[in-house]
Amino acid sequence: MKVIEISCLEVWREISNYLDDEVAPELRVRMEAHFKACAHCTAVLDGTKNVVKLVGDGIEYEPPEGFGQRLYSKLKEKINR
Amino acid sequence: MGAPAPDLHASQAELIRSAREGDKEAFYSLVHQCERAVYVAAIAILNNRADAEEVAQEAVLKAFANLAQFRGEAKFSTWLIQITINEARVRLRKDRRHLYESVDERQTDEEGEHVPKDFADWREVPSEALQREELRQALKQAIARLAPKYREVLILRDVQQLSTEETAQVLGISEGNVKARLLRARLQMRDALAPGIDGSWSTGKAEYQKVRPW
């Protein structure tokens, strides 16, 4: 069965969904064939995958020290009024 | 006195029942399980740690005051995150600081394609090879420079790991919209985190071009 080729543009449109495993099986096959043949799109895929991993480490988004305690204190303060 | 240890054995329904009767320990147990998510949601909208903590507190107090309105069909955390996002947006409207941010925010989701830049050597720059602090700074800056609607989705999906469905719900947009914005956010981040010509990190300029290649 011949795999229908897709353009780089189509790949870029779906690349985020592809990373989340949210593309239909036929599209997935076409995209994988495209990646095999296209160094630029493979680089985009790898780069985007790296970005998702870096962002996902989430070190910037840890609440500050004592956040939970201050939250609890505020709650206690308000409820005891 | 520190925060109480959350009772992880009580089910959400039981905790809500107790909380509705004014049991603040029960309410705090519910909140404690998602307090980081609340903080992250606040930061997603506000882009500012100090404001995020204040808004998180306001949201939690508001949730307690409105607990009677929580129907209990959805997850408590989703409801609380939604309140947090609303409070953050109200704060943003009141705070005129954001009016001076130089953000090229387009009014509608643009139809222009994002053409990803071609960095032949991206794959050859492993993150471990870079100074950790340098990378952290580059990441922070890149995220802060995203247009708000892309930053919000990136943080909720890729930092907080909310599902597409949940993200759509708390932001009040369609799932299709979440996916479209996430695509653009991720590609813009990739462009922004490009290695410099000499292989070291450069933050690059946050000018995302609308390009039609045909």
B114 in contact with A, Cβ within 8 Å: yes
pLDDT recorded at residue A18 = 97
- What is the three-class DSSP state of B195? strand
Name the closest residue on chain B to residue A74, using Cα atoms: B57
Asked whether residue A64 is assigned to any structural domain, the reply reads yes
Nearest to B60 among A15, A39, A75 (CB): A75
d(CA B162, CA B44): 13
Beta bridge partners of B201: B195
First to last CA, chain A: 73
The model scores a pTM over 0.80? no
Best residue of B38, B57, B125 to probe chain A, by most A CBs closer than 10 Å = B57
pLDDT bracket for residue B11 (50, 70, 90): confident
Q: Is the pLDDT of residue B113 over 60?
A: yes
Structure confidence at residue B83 (pLDDT) = 96
B12-98: CATH class: mainly alpha
pLDDT value of position B149: 95
Task: Tell whether A3 is covered by a domain.
Answer: no
Tally the domains of chain A.
Answer: 1
Average pLDDT, rounded, for chain B = 78
Confidence band of B98 (pLDDT split at 50, 70, 90) = low
* Architecture of domain B104-214 in this structure: Orthogonal Bundle (1.10)
Among B46-50, B98-102, B120-124, which is the least confidently predicted range? Answer: B120-124
For chain B, positions 50-69, list CB contacts with chain A under 8 A: 53, 56-57, 60-61, 64
Query: What are the domain boundaries of chain B?
Result: 12-98, 104-214
Task: Please tell me which residue, B120 or A37, carries the higher pLDDT value.
Answer: A37
From the list A62, A49, A60, A15, the residue with the least C-alpha distance to B139 is A60
| Confidence bin at B198 (pLDDT 50/70/90) | very low
- What integer pLDDT is reported at residue B205 of this predicted model? 32
Domain that holds residue A73: 8-79
Contacts of B201 in chain A (CB under 8 A): none
Any CB–CB contact under 8 A between B187 and chain A?
yes
Six-digit token pair at A45? 């895929």
CB contact under 8 A, A47 and B190: yes
Is B122 in CB contact (< 8 Å) with chain A? Answer: yes
According to DSSP, residue B157 is labeled I
Tens digits of per-residue pLDDT, B74-88?
889 999 999 999 999
Contacts of B139 in chain A (CB under 8 A): 54-55, 60
Q: Are B157 and B189 in contact (CB under 8 A)?
A: no
**B36/A contact by beta carbon, under 8 A:** yes
Closest listed residue to residue B40, CA positions, set B97, B103, B89, B84: B84
Higher-scoring residue by pLDDT: B209, B9: B9
Tell me the C-alpha distance between A48 and B134, whole Å.
19
Do residue A12 and residue B114 have CB atoms under 8 angstroms apart?
Answer: yes
Bridge partners (DSSP) listed for residue B195: B201
Whether residue B67 is predicted with pLDDT greater than 60 in this model: the reply is: yes
For residue B2, which phi and psi values (nearest 5 degrees)? -80, 175
**Considering the domain boundaries, does residue A2 fall inside one?**
no
Spell out which residues of chain B touch residue A75, defining contact as CB-CB under 8 Å.
Answer: 24, 27-28, 31, 60-61, 64
For the stretch A13-21, contacts whose Cβ atoms lie closer than 8 Å and that sit 24 or more positions apart, written own/partner, are A13/B113, A13/B183, A15/A41, A15/A44, A15/A45, A15/A48, A15/B183, A15/B186, A15/B187, A16/A48, A16/B179, A16/B182, A16/B183, A16/B186, A16/B187, A17/B179, A17/B183, A18/A45, A19/A45, A19/A48, A19/A49, A19/A52, A19/B186, A20/B164
Residue B214 has pLDDT above 90, yes or no: no
